[in-house]
């Protein structure tokens, strides 16, 4: 069963831990955080639960059709005001419980002072393939 | 026979089919199918004449495909164009194939894919894996590219500058999956050097070799970016550097300077320094001046400012940034570096953080975030 672990720059429930942006951590704290992320992905690959991970740039905009013969209409970017998706992991696990367990682990990535940042992660199951007739 | 050697034969075989009257797209398809068969059967049953085997197999595939399309016309073709017996001519049309694949009417991405397939002999699956897209997607891109140049004559190809740009694009894609695109680009450029006497082709090959020589030292544990000044120079590939420098010197001696030769000269000066401190920045600035005359490129102007900062001090570097557009990628990162060196740590930290937000790759973003963190730590002391 595939699940999406969605990371947000902001948005979602009120943060459990208030930590400054990463460029205000110490270099060692930055290294420890990045190492944790790499280890997490490597561990999932070992258990056969890793599917993919992608990071997204902060910039972006909402776009919609402007009507026939018209250029598309864009709104944004909203880097300062709205929810933004930072990136995602796709995992393939046995159960919802396992997906929640892994999201919990990922959320415990170390931040300033080595303390877990406890960021909120959105966990969403994928639709399955269409059933065979 | 290894796979690389087999792939080397592909452009020549396509050339033979085209000369016998096949259109480019069908010839390319037929050779791909023959190639897949060869990869399959040669390990157990290696042919005595690999090129002859491929030509024969591809020609049969081409005839089959043509027959399937219009059986009557196919039969006529088969009779009319039955290949003469005997050895395949040694000369080939590889150079024209390069030009055709890098046809100016093709979007760059398509030109890259087509070049990798028709000249490089990679299978669609391998190209798709290298670009991390589904095989069906890559197959579509390639057939669209072939349709697009269907009308282009095999005799009126594109220009060499486009070919070189396509090869450099391939080189810069790096690698994904099992295909190392940097190594593939070097292989194809070597082939091109053997086919033309143009010094810029040698310049591009030298540039690739000199960059490639540093590849192992460019990333640390977990893919972390290691900047040039901090790289472990004992890990540079001296064999590739020696070769690159020799090729560059021979090209420069022809006295027809171009942008790839100038870029290779800069890479050679970096390669030549035993330590970062021994880098001959004054000469690097001179090469950037040449490069600027040749290209007028704003990116060159930006990189030149870094070199000026090293050669004449950070204030001179910042002054050189005056006529560079702040909209350029890496502008903030370069300014941050020069600010830090000039002692303006506050501004440097802010600019590193800004550069991290604008970075377009994860390793680059992580590196710049760490730089911001490092400078802020200096500020707190």
Over the stretch B171-184, which tens digit does the pLDDT of each residue have?
Answer: 988 655 567 899 99
Average pLDDT over residues B204-208: 98
Q: Does residue B366 surpass a pLDDT of 70?
A: yes
Q: Does residue B21 surpass a pLDDT of 60?
A: yes
Nearest CA in chain A to B363: A34
pLDDT band at B269 (very low <50, low <70, confident <90, very high): very high
Q: Do A30 and B373 touch (CB under 8 A)?
A: yes
Q: Do B370 and A27 touch (CB under 8 A)?
A: yes
Separation in Å, CA of A3 to nearest CA in chain B: 20
Q: Which of B77-91, B244-258, B306-320 has the lowest mean pLDDT?
A: B77-91
Separation in Å, CA of A49 to nearest CA in chain B: 19
Q: Which of B44-58, B88-102, B170-184 has the lowest mean pLDDT?
A: B88-102
pLDDT band at B80 (very low <50, low <70, confident <90, very high): very low
In terms of Cα–Cα distance, which of B61, B58, B55, B121 is closest to B88? B55
Chain B residues within 8 Å of chain A (Cβ atoms) = 222-224, 349, 352-353, 356-357, 360, 362, 365-366, 369-370, 372-374, 376-377
Q: Do B349 and A23 touch (CB under 8 A)?
A: yes
Q: Do A24 and B376 touch (CB under 8 A)?
A: yes
Write down the residue that tokens 């070097």 correspond to.
B186
Q: What is the pLDDT of residue A81?
A: 54
Q: What is the pLDDT of residue A91?
A: 96
Task: Give the single-character DSSP code of A70.
Answer: S
> Could you give the ipTM of this predicted complex?
0.87
Average pLDDT over residues B109-136: 91
Question: Which residues of chain A neighbour B357 with C-beta distances below 8 Å?
Answer: 58
Classify burial at B135, counting beta carbons within 10 Å of its beta carbon; exposed 0-12, middle 13-18, buried 19 or more. middle
pLDDT digits (tens, 9 = 90+) for A14-28: 888 989 999 999 999
CB-nearest to B373 from A23, A35, A58 is A23
Average pLDDT over residues B115-130: 92
Separation in Å, CA of B277 to nearest CA in chain A: 24
**How many CB atoms sit inside 10 A of residue A33's CB?**
19
* CA pair distance B258, B200, nearest whole angstrom: 6
Average pLDDT over residues B250-277: 97
pLDDT band at B79 (very low <50, low <70, confident <90, very high): very low
Q: Does residue B34 surpass a pLDDT of 80?
A: yes
Nearest CA in chain B to A57: B360
Burial B228-261 (b: 16+ CB within 10 A, else e): eeebeeeebbeebbebbbebbeebbeeeebbbbb
Q: Do A27 and B349 touch (CB under 8 A)?
A: no
* CA pair distance B167, B116, nearest whole angstrom: 9
Average pLDDT over residues A37-66: 91
Question: Which residues of chain A neighbour B362 with C-beta distances below 8 Å?
Answer: 55
* CA pair distance A62, A76, nearest whole angstrom: 6
What average pLDDT does the structure give for chain B? 89
Q: Do B373 and A57 touch (CB under 8 A)?
A: no
Write down the residue that tokens 């486009």 correspond to.
B162
Q: Do A27 and B222 touch (CB under 8 A)?
A: no
Q: What is the pLDDT of residue B175?
A: 56
Q: What is the pLDDT of residue A115?
A: 95
Average pLDDT over residues B1-23: 85
Q: Does residue A80 surpass a pLDDT of 80?
A: no
Question: Which residues of chain B neighbour A27 with C-beta distances below 8 Å?
Answer: 370, 373-374, 377
Q: Does residue A79 surpass a pLDDT of 90?
A: no
In terms of Cα–Cα distance, which of B279, B243, B249 is closest to B261? B249
* CA pair distance A51, A43, nearest whole angstrom: 12
* CA pair distance B339, B319, nearest whole angstrom: 11
What average pLDDT does the structure give for chain A? 90
Q: What is the pLDDT of residue A78?
A: 60
* CA pair distance B224, B218, nearest whole angstrom: 8
pLDDT band at B83 (very low <50, low <70, confident <90, very high): very low
Nearest CA in chain A to B348: A23
Residues 6+ apart with CB under 8 A from B252: B199, B261, B265
Question: Which residues of chain B neighbour A34 with C-beta distances below 8 Å?
Answer: 222, 224, 366
pLDDT band at B91 (very low <50, low <70, confident <90, very high): very low
Higher-scoring residue by pLDDT: B90, B154: B154
Count how many residues are written for chain A. Answer: 133
pTM to 2 decimal places:
0.87
Nearest CA in chain B to A58: B357
Average pLDDT over residues B254-262: 97
* CA pair distance B232, B217, nearest whole angstrom: 6
Q: What is the pLDDT of residue B165?
A: 94
**How many CB atoms sit inside 10 A of residue B127's CB?**
26
* CA pair distance B9, B123, nearest whole angstrom: 14
Count how many residues are written for chain B. Answer: 381
Strands of A2-10's sheet in order across: A50-55, A84-92, A2-10, A121-125
Residues 6+ apart with CB under 8 A from A92: A1, A2, A3, A48, A49, A50, A51
Q: What is the pLDDT of residue A77?
A: 66
Higher-scoring residue by pLDDT: B351, A14: B351
pLDDT band at A58 (very low <50, low <70, confident <90, very high): confident
CB-nearest to A30 from B223, B349, B369 is B369
């Amino acid at each position: 069963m595939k699940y999406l672990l969605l990371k947000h720059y902001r948005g979602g429930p009120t943060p459990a831990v208030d930590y400054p942006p990463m460029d205000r951590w110490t270099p060692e704290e930055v290294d420890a955080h990045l190492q944790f992320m790499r280890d997490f992905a490597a561990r999932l690959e070992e258990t056969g639960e890793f599917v993919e991970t992608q990071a997204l740039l902060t910039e972006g905009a909402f776009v919609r059709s402007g009507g026939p013969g018209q250029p598309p209409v864009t709104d944004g970017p909203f880097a300062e005001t709205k929810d933004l998706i930072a990136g995602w992991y796709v995992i393939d696990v046995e159960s919802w419980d396992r997906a929640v367990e892994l999201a919990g682990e990922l959320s415990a990535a170390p931040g300033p002072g080595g303390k877990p940042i406890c960021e909120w992660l959105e966990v969403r199951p994928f639709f399955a393939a269409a059933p065979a007739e | 026979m290894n796979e690389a050697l087999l792939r080397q034969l592909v452009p020549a075989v396509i050339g033979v089919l085209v000369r016998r009257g096949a259109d480019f797209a069908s010839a390319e398809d037929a050779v791909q199918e023959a190639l897949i068969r060869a990869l399959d059967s040669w390990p157990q049953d290696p042919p005595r004449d690999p090129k002859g085997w491929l030509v024969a197999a591809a020609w049969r595939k081409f005839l089959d495909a043509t027959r399937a399309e219009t059986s009557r016309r196919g039969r006529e073709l088969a009779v009319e164009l039955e290949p003469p017996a005997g050895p395949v001519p040694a000369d080939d049309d590889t150079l024209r194939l390069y030009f055709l694949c890098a046809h100016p009417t093709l979007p760059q991405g398509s030109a890259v894919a087509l070049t990798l397939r028709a000249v490089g002999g990679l299978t669609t699956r391998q190209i798709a894996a290298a670009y991390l897209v589904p095989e069906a997607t890559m197959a579509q891109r390639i057939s669209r590219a072939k349709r697009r140049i269907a009308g282009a004559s095999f005799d009126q190809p594109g220009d060499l500058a486009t070919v070189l740009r396509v090869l450099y694009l391939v080189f810069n894609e790096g690698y994904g999956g099992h295909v190392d695109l940097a190594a593939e680009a070097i292989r194809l450029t070597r082939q091109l050097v053997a086919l033309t006497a143009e010094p810029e082709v040698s310049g591009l090959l030298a540039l690739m070799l000199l960059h490639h020589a540093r590849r192992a030292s460019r990333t640390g544990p977990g893919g972390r970016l290691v900047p040039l000044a901090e790289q472990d120079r004992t890990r540079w590939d001296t064999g590739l550097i020696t070769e690159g420098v020799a090729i560059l010197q021979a090209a420069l001696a022809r006295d027809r300077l171009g942008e790839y030769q100038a870029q290779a000269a800069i890479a050679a000066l970096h390669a030549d320094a035993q330590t970062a401190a021994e880098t001959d920045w004054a000469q690097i600035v001179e090469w950037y001046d040449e490069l600027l005359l040749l290209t007028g490129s704003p990116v060159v102007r930006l990189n030149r400012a870094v070199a000026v900062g090293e050669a004449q001090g950070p204030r001179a570097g910042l002054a050189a940034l005056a006529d560079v557009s702040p909209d350029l990628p890496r502008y903030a990162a370069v300014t941050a570096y020069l600010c830090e060196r000039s002692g303006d740590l506050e501004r440097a930290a802010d600019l590193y953080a800004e550069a991290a937000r604008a970075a377009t790759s994860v390793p680059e973003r992580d590196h710049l975030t760490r730089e911001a963190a490092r400078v802020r730590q200096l500020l707190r002391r």
